[in-house]
Amino acid sequence: MQIIRNDDDVREGLAQLLVLDPRLADIAADAGVLPLRLREPGFEGLAHIIVSQMVSRASAEAIWRRMRPEGALLTAEGYAALHSDAWREFGLSRAKAETLTRIAEAAASGALDLSALSQLPPAEALSALTALKGVGPWTAEVYLMFCGGHADVFPAGDVALQNAVAAAFGLSERPGAKTLALLAENWSPWRSVAARLFWAYYAVKLGRGLLPVA
């Protein structure tokens, strides 16, 4: 199982992808250098992904600053010990707050080892994360990619990726998650690098920053 730890791993993955699917060569030329965007595995990394979902970058950054005063590390134990209305002060939605509490309690009790997930096969790691209420496939996949370093994960339900693939291949319509997942099988065992490639390509073409974590 491949694990991405640094920029060299991303470059290696891209080189392998261009052998697996030569159609990606022009896309890679347009996309430019692919970002690593790797965070440390653990509660803070997963919390950051959840906080950033479905809000503007400015809003997510404001919430994150309130959750981490003076840049203090956000631990599962620390979050689990917060008073019951702390989420209101942070500006979190109730749903996100409840999800973070469940994750924090599971991690603090030892029932969930977020760091160890990077050593598990992707399907097993995804199953462990999505077993927690409020953690959907996209959240789990992005965590495994950008915190766990998994090299063979592709969030096929991501609308930006669907649009990017449609634009790159000149498709008449955006592929759905099932169609894109089947297409992405061609890029195994480097599907996480393929996702980085298409996000970067779409960002260049549409002038948007589409990577899901900052």
User: What domains sit in the chain, N to C, each tagged with a CATH number?
Assistant: 7-38+152-206 (1.10.1670.40), 43-146 (1.10.340.30)
Cα torsion 89, 113, 108, 84: sign: positive
Least confident of 65-74, 144-153, 154-163, 173-182: 65-74
Residue 214 pLDDT more than 70? Answer: no
pLDDT confidence of residue 197: 97
Average pLDDT taken over every residue of the chain: 93
Please tell me which residue, 9 or 119, carries the higher pLDDT value: 9
pLDDT for res 208: 58
- Locate 148 and state its tokens: 């766990």
Q: Tens digit of pLDDT for each residue in 119-172?
A: 899 999 999 999 999 999 999 999 999 999 999 999 999 999 999 999 999 999
Cα–Cα distance, 171 to 154 (Å, whole number): 19
Instruction: Answer with the residue of higher pLDDT: 170 or 210.
Output: 170
Q: Which of 140, 150, 160, 96 is nearest to 119 (CA)?
A: 150
For residue 16, what are its two tokens? 């392998």
What is the distance between the alpha carbons of residues 64 and 47, in angstroms, rounded to a whole number? Answer: 9
Which pLDDT band holds residue 213 (cuts at 50, 70, 90)? low
pLDDT at 211 (0 to 100)? 55
Structure pTM?
0.92
User: What whole-number percentage of the chain has pLDDT above 70?
Assistant: 96
